[in-house]
Each structure stands twice: as C-alpha cells, then as structure tokens.
A and B are shown apart, each in its own frame.
Chain A
C-alpha cells in the first residue's frame, strides 16, 4: 500500500513544521555512586513490588538455589544452556536430585517442541540477568540463544540470578554507558516484580499472565 505511504508523507511534509533543536533540559533521574546505597535501593524496590530477594555469594550460590527449590517444592524446572552461572545452576540441580526427584527441561530445542511442556508442566524457570537498576528495583533481561525469551515468561515462577556488581543507578545511565543504540538485541525486557493487575476494582492481584512469583538471587561479588 505504498500510495498510502506517499499520501501520509505528503500531508506531513505539507505542514512543513519548524524543526525544534535538542532541548536544553536534562533528565535528572535518581543517582548514587555509593554501592551500599545502590544495593539497598535495588532490594527495597524489588521487595516493594512483591519480589523475594535472597542474598548469597558465588561460593554459596548452589546451596542457596538448592534450598530454594526444595523449600518452594519446585519439582519441574526449566533452565537454559549457558551463561556465566550456568555451572552453578547445574550443580544446584544435582544437589537437589540427591534427595528429591526433579524434572529438568533444558531449553535447547525449538520453542515449538517444548511449548506445551513449558506451559503445562514446569514450575519454575531460571535465568541470568544482565544488569540491575537500583532506582526502580528492576532486572534487565537480555534473552539470547542460550536463555530464550519464554524461559522467564511462561513458567509460573521465575528465579533470576543477578550479580551485585552489575547494579547501576538508573535506566537512562545504563543505555548510555552500554551504548545500546549500537547493539539492540531481538528483545530486552525490564522486569520489576511478578506479573500483576489492578484491572478489577483497583484491587492489586499477582500472577496475571506472567510469573506469579519472582525470586531474585543477588550474588555478592564485590
């Protein structure tokens, strides 16, 4: 329908708007250089949005993850195939399996082949996070071949692993320092809590269509 395109552009160009230059007002989001302040705000924000935050260190990560899985009685777990902490995830799973039966879906096939299992037979998905944003208590997910998009979306619980050293002040700073404009992946998702809705009589309810539980494991690495 290229004639529609031409017609729309003709009308827009016809208006001949006077081009406005870049505004001089700067965005001033919340910012801090103190790592303790960043950490506290990050945890507070996520907790206020109903996420559970567990703090651990890299050494104890597999124990933390193991305990979490057992306590929450997750019996069917989906995981990716790579990432920095992948070996710890695998380790935690094998620790659980010593005492508890655990079904694992390793997401290494096309979505069409594991779609039904993801929707119907999985309790939790585990993913890494690229960055944390302290300002709003937000996780930045950057799904890729090893951790597909639906891993953090379809299972009713999402376990997100994040290293404390990745926490930045705010969203604007993040995209500038990482020069996102040069390397946008297929999909980036900012997650700030479990799925929710207030569509019925302004009453907040969790677990609308996304995960109803979000467990964040914050790994001390500084």
Chain B
C-alpha cells in the first residue's frame, strides 16, 4: 500500500504525546519534576494537536463526522475515545497540580497519567490489526507502539528537565529510557521475524495475469516482505529502523545514564530522541510497504 503520511504522523505524534504524559506521571508518582511539569503537559498537548491535525488531513470529508460518527466497533471511533481520555488525563493533571500549593498531584492522578496513555497507544495499535493484512495483524504492532511511546516520551521529559536546568538525576526516567531502547530493538527484531514468517499466510495463485494491468509485474508477497531484508527497502530497514532507530538510541541512552549534568543529559537525550524519531518514522513507513492484503492481486 502507498504510504499514508497522515496516519504515519498520527501514530507517531500520539505515541509522543502519550509517552510524555506517561513519563511525567512516573516522575509525579515519585514526587519529582514539578518545576517543569507544565512544560511537559503543554508538550504532550501540542503533540496531540499535531497528530490530530495530521489525521484530519487523511479524511476526505471530515465535515461529515457530524452525520453519525461513532460506530463503536471501528478503530477510528475507539481512537477518538482514547484521544479524549488522554486530553482529560492531561487536564486533570494540570488542574490538580494547580490546586495544590506545591504543584504536587495525588497518586491517583499520576496513575491515571500512566494508565491512560498505555490504553491510548494500545487502542491505536489495535485499530490497525486487520486479519486481511497479515503484516499488521500482529500484537507486535501494539508492543512496538507502546515501547516507542515510552522511549520518546521519557526522552522528551528528560530534555525538558535539562532545558529547565534541572540537575536532578531522574534515575528512574533514565532507566526507563535505557530499558525501552533495548526493548525497542528486541521488538523490532521480533516484529521483523513475524513478518518473515507471515509469508505463507497469503493466497498463492501461482502464475496469474490481470488484463487491466498488463504492464504491472506479478505481486509476490515473499518478494515484497523480503525487500525489507535484502531488497529495495533494505537500506531503510537496516540503516534507518535498526541502526539509527534501534541501535543508536541504546548507545546514546547508555551515555545518557552516565551523564551527570544537565548539559550532557540534554545532548544525549536530544540525539537519542532524533534517532528514535527517524527510526520510528522509517519503520512506520515500511509497515505500509509490506501491508499487502491476503489476496494481493486485485490492484487499483
């Protein structure tokens, strides 16, 4: 399938938005990060708005959403509910922090800020699980989004902390970054193996011919998926998703864990976030390249 940039950007920015609230709420649970929590909440909100605008660009007739949007079995409806919940979680965090004199929030607010982003990201991943598209129809999609969100969110919160010259050690957040960076690479590897193993699930017609597309070569699922590893997409996969998006964030997160001052934290966290973002966008794009339907030979 062609790359659907609005959807790629939506999932990217929703992971970022959810991850930031998640990371800030983890800090809140430990009573840390109050000096910059509002900046984090704003950052999360901005990412949500950017993601929302991106997804609206995908709709051809968004004005018709008032004609009866809301069929509950639809992933889009579920995502919308998730976005509303995420917004409410942000709002509650903001209001509760304002109400207290020291900017602290009750533990339940922090827990809401941890759980709601997880639900949001899981629901978002779930909406792409379609039996007709084996490359997407795997829980690894949800697992990948969750880890990616935790990593990008924690890095962003560390960057905000460093920008506000908060020298605190934020041990826990740095650990989350390091562990998620490792898990992300593992998830990518497992997902790639799942893709490789899915080749046999497509309808196999042997030789076929579509008289309406005489100049289009035969669609071979094994070749399309194989192109990730050894073909035309290999550079994007190995270079973009694995090295830049998977391995470099681990190395940089390792250095980040050693960083003692805000300056170094800033440098490593920024570098790691940029790499994760590049890798995340590349991987999301590649998932469209390999998103064939089980009956892949009726093309428009």
Q: Is chain B a partner of chain A in the same complex? A: no
Residues of A within 8 A of B (CB): none
Residues of B within 8 A of A (CB): none
